[in-house]
């Protein structure tokens, strides 16, 4: 090693060893695996505490693993879940039976017979529902014997029985039942999956409850209820939970399964006997009274329900006949009603409609959503709300046409004609029977402006004061022509120039025309359409030959045209 290498070793030796160690850990798979395994539990814990991303990531792969395991080894999973699924299923069945018992309890809870009162008292002492106690009293059965048989080899694990039962060789019974079970599989189940679960032998019934490693066979006297099988399954599940492994490996040594007899004796507790009673020649008086009360109550509630149904029909008919209301449904809860649907804001109130059929507001719940109705009555009301007509005006709707009749100011009529198209559901307006209430006033305005005269000093020079009067007249005339359109009129304006009789007739005619043209120009400057002004001369040749200023004027004549007949 030269000096340079020794120098490198001294300066970077430690770092090189660290890098070599890191490279070795990265390159060797077993070391990386050990490192990941060392921190994997903590990493999973921290990731789970942080958010739900870990659960989302593992949901699909874990689910696929469970599905594959259930498909490849269903028996293993079935054996593992047997102690869990059994109680869950039994709990569900017991819940259903409890509901059934509750229904029976409600059906007979008003029983006043001596037997019923006695059973009720006994049920209360026993702490069980009355209906369930009645079921127990009306069923007759008893579990006489119980056999626990190994499914692996058919050996009898244990056997219990009532003292009054006649017992023969229990091992022979076990072997015989196992042989029958195998015979059923071979003869009637091609895939050997069938199994014998019950058999009838005179007054006895054999029930077999199958478990993963053991078979519970019970000999029952009488007719057992179906719920008994769930109770026997619970006992077998308990035995598997405590002795599952020992039963699987059972070879005939009962010491390997201690105290299993105590569990089997639970089967002998299931029994029910019907108590004997005296024979009656007829139904007791209490039952007769009870039936009469039930009939009377049924009649009372039936009549009351019919009356409420009639009220509901009347309410439905009244609401459907009310414009602007659309009912989707009416629900009845006892004597109260719930109304749902649509209501136009201008329609009658639902509570008022219900009051018209004698249904008070405290029995009514209204849930109506707003909408815009296109019924004629509602459209007429909406038009009245929008335009505010005078009292002398009537509004109605036929199809999509708004009919307006009566008397109204011309300004209101003009507003109606310009805005009626904004009313939804209306396409046309009929005002043929609508007259203007201010038409006479307008005619007076026309008459007051007609034949107005403005005098001239000479030529086209107006006398003092008439220039202002002419401008005021022009403004009033412009307003009059504007208002005439709202009445359906057109006004013809004629300007007539006049001169005195002094001078040449041709010169006077030219001067009269100039004066009419001058006055028309003043009107046009005030906004009067010059096309509506006609000019004409006044004939003063028959008058005296005087230089009179009263003959030097221009006169405006107004005439209404296309005017409808006045009322």
Q: What is the pLDDT of residue 279?
A: 44
State the chain's mean pLDDT as an integer: 79
Q: Kindly state whether residues 96 and 148 are assigned to the same domain.
A: yes
Axis crossing angle, helix 53-72 with helix 74-108, rounded to the nearest 10: 100
What length does the chain have? 567
In a domain, 281, yes or no: no
Using the 3D structure, point to which of 41, 71, 101 is the last residue of a domain.
71
Does position 394 have pLDDT exceeding 80, yes or no? yes
Pairing of strands 364-370, 336-343: parallel
Neighbours of 373 (CB within 10 A): 22
Which candidate, 455, 442, 526, places its Cα nearest to that of 488? 442
223, 139 contact by CB (below 8 A): yes
In a domain, 279, yes or no: no
Q: Kindly state whether residues 431 and 447 are assigned to the same domain.
A: no
Does position 116 have pLDDT exceeding 50, yes or no? yes
398 φ, ψ (degrees, to nearest 5): -130, 115
User: What is the tens place of the pLDDT at every residue in 208-230?
Assistant: 888 888 888 898 887 788 888 88
Block residue for tokens 């004027």: 553
In a domain, 2, yes or no: no
User: What is the tens place of the pLDDT at every residue in 288-308?
Assistant: 788 888 999 988 888 888 888
In a domain, 286, yes or no: no
CATH for 468: 3.30.1330.60
Please report, rounded to a whole number, the percentage of residues in the chain having pLDDT higher than 90: 6
Query: Cα(562)–Cα(101) distance, rounded to whole angstroms?
Result: 94
Q: Kindly state whether residues 168 and 215 are assigned to the same domain.
A: yes
Query: Cα(433)–Cα(412) distance, rounded to whole angstroms?
Result: 15
Block residue for tokens 């007076």: 444
Q: Mean pLDDT over residues 417-441, rounded?
A: 81
- Consecutive H or E run containing 558: strand 553-561
Q: What is the pLDDT of residue 547?
A: 62
Q: Kindly state whether residues 416 and 517 are assigned to the same domain.
A: no
Report the chain's terminal Cα–Cα distance, integer Å: 136
Q: What is the pLDDT of residue 338?
A: 92
**Three-state DSSP class for 141?**
strand
Q: What is the pLDDT of residue 227?
A: 83
Q: Mean pLDDT over residues 429-445, rounded?
A: 77
Block residue for tokens 């259903």: 96
Q: Kindly state whether residues 119 and 218 are assigned to the same domain.
A: yes
Q: Mean pLDDT over residues 358-377, rounded?
A: 89
**Beta strand extents in 141-269 (DSSP E only):** 141-150, 156-161, 198-201, 204-210, 214-222
Query: Cα(192)–Cα(186) distance, rounded to whole angstroms?
Result: 6
CATH for 103: 3.30.450.70
In a domain, 9, yes or no: no
Which candidate, 228, 219, 220, 232, places its Cα nearest to that of 141? 220
Residue 339's pLDDT band, with cuts at 50, 70 and 90, is very high
Show the 3-state SS of 86-116.
HHHHHHHHHHHHHHHHHHHHHHHCCCCCHHH
Q: What is the pLDDT of residue 352?
A: 92
Q: Kindly state whether residues 404 and 354 are assigned to the same domain.
A: no
Range picked from 162-171, 345-354, 546-555 for highest mean pLDDT: 345-354
Q: Name the residue range of residue 383's domain.
A: 376-437
Q: Mean pLDDT over residues 100-112, rounded?
A: 53
Q: Kindly state whether residues 460 and 421 are assigned to the same domain.
A: no
User: How many independent structural domains does the chain possess?
Assistant: 5
Residue 282's pLDDT band, with cuts at 50, 70 and 90, is low
Residue 342's pLDDT band, with cuts at 50, 70 and 90, is very high
Does position 21 have pLDDT exceeding 60, yes or no? yes
Q: What is the pLDDT of residue 435?
A: 75
Q: Mean pLDDT over residues 536-550, rounded?
A: 61
In a domain, 287, yes or no: no
pTM for the full predicted model: 0.34
Using the 3D structure, point to which of 401, 417, 437 is the last residue of a domain.
437
104, 134 contact by CB (below 8 A): yes
Q: Kindly state whether residues 319 and 382 are assigned to the same domain.
A: no
- In the sheet with 364-370, reading across from the earlier edge strand, the strands are 325-333, 336-343, 364-370
Query: Cα(560)–Cα(567) distance, rounded to whole angstroms?
Result: 16
Residue 387 contacts by C-beta under 8 Å, 6 or more apart in sequence? 412, 415, 416, 419
Q: What is the pLDDT of residue 454?
A: 92
Pairing of strands 428-436, 401-408: parallel
In a domain, 76, yes or no: no
Lowest mean pLDDT segment, chosen from 149-158, 344-353, 361-370, 481-490: 481-490
Q: Kindly state whether residues 306 and 386 are assigned to the same domain.
A: no
Does position 91 have pLDDT exceeding 80, yes or no? no
Q: Kindly state whether residues 399 and 514 are assigned to the same domain.
A: no
Q: Kindly state whether residues 410 and 329 are assigned to the same domain.
A: no
Does position 131 have pLDDT exceeding 70, yes or no? no
* Higher pLDDT pick, 480 / 203: 480
Neighbours of 314 (CB within 10 A): 15
Q: Please list the alpha-helical segments (H only) found in 450-548.
A: 466-486, 505-525
215 φ, ψ (degrees, to nearest 5): -125, 125
Q: Kindly state whether residues 177 and 234 are assigned to the same domain.
A: yes
Give the bridge partners for 494, in sequence order.
Answer: 534, 557
In a domain, 142, yes or no: yes
Residue 182's pLDDT band, with cuts at 50, 70 and 90, is confident
Structure tokens at 144: 């006489």
145, 177 contact by CB (below 8 A): no
């Amino acid at each position: 090693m030269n000096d340079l290498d020794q120098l490198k070793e001294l300066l970077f030796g430690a770092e090189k060893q660290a890098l070599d160690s890191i490279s070795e850990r990265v390159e060797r798979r077993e070391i990386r695996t050990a490192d990941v395994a060392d921190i994997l539990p903590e990493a999973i814990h921290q990731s789970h505490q942080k958010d739900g991303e870990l659960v989302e990531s593992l949901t699909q792969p874990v689910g696929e693993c469970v599905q594959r395991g259930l498909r490849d080894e269903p028996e293993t999973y079935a054996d593992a879940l047997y102690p869990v699924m059994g109680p869950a299923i039994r709990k569900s069945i017991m819940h259903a039976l409890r509901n059934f018992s509750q229904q029976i309890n409600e059906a007979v809870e008003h029983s006043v017979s001596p037997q019923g009162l006695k059973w009720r008292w006994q049920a209360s002492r026993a702490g069980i529902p009355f209906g369930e106690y009645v079921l127990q009293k009306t069923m007759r059965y008893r579990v006489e014997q119980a056999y626990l048989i190994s499914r692996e080899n058919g050996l009898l694990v244990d056997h219990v029985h009532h003292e009054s039962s006649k017992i023969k060789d229990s091992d022979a019974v076990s072997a015989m039942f196992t042989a029958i079970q195998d015979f059923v599989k071979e003869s009637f189940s091609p895939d050997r999956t069938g199994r014998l679960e019950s058999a009838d032998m005179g007054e006895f019934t054999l029930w077999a409850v199958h478990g993963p490693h053991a078979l519970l066979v019970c000999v029952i006297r009488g007719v057992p209820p179906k719920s008994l099988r769930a109770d026997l399954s619970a006992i077998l599940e308990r035995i598997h939970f405590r002795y599952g492994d020992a039963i699987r490996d059972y070879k005939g040594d009962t010491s390997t399964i201690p105290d299993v007899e105590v569990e089997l004796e639970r089967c002998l507790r299931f029994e029910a006997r019907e108590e004997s009673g005296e024979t009656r020649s007829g139904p007791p008086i209490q039952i007769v009274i009870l039936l009469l009360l039930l009939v009377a109550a049924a009649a009372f509630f039936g009549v009351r329900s019919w009356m409420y149904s009639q009220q509901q029909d009347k309410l439905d008919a009244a609401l459907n006949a009310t414009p602007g209301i659309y009912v989707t449904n009416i629900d009845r809860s006892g004597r109260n009603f719930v109304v749902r649907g649509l209501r136009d804001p201008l329609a009658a109130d639902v509570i008022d409609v219900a009051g018209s059929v004698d249904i008070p507001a405290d029995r009514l719940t209204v849930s109506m959503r707003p909408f815009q109705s296109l019924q004629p009555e509602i459209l007429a009301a909406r038009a009245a709300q929008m335009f505010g007509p005078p009292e002398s005006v009537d509004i109605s709707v036929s199809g999509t046409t708004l009919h307006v009749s009566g008397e109204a100011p011309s300004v209101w009529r003009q507003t109606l004609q310009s805005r009626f198209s904004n009313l939804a559901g209306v396409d046309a307006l009929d005002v043929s029977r609508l007259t203007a209430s201010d038409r006479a006033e307008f005619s007076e305005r026309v008459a007051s402006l007609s034949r107005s005269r403005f005098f001239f000093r000479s030529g086209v020079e107006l006398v003092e004061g008439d220039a202002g009067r002419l401008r005021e007249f022009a403004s009033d005339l412009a307003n009059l022509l504007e208002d005439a359109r709202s009445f359906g009129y057109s006004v013809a304006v004629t300007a007539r120039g006049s001169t005195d009789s002094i001078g040449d007739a041709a010169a006077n005619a030219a001067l009269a025309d100039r004066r009419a043209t001058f006055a028309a120009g003043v009107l046009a400057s005030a906004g009067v359409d010059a096309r509506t002004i006609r000019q004409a001369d006044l004939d003063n040749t028959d008058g005296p030959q005087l230089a009179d200023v009263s003959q030097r004027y221009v006169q405006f004549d107004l005439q209404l045209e296309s005017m409808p007949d006045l009322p």
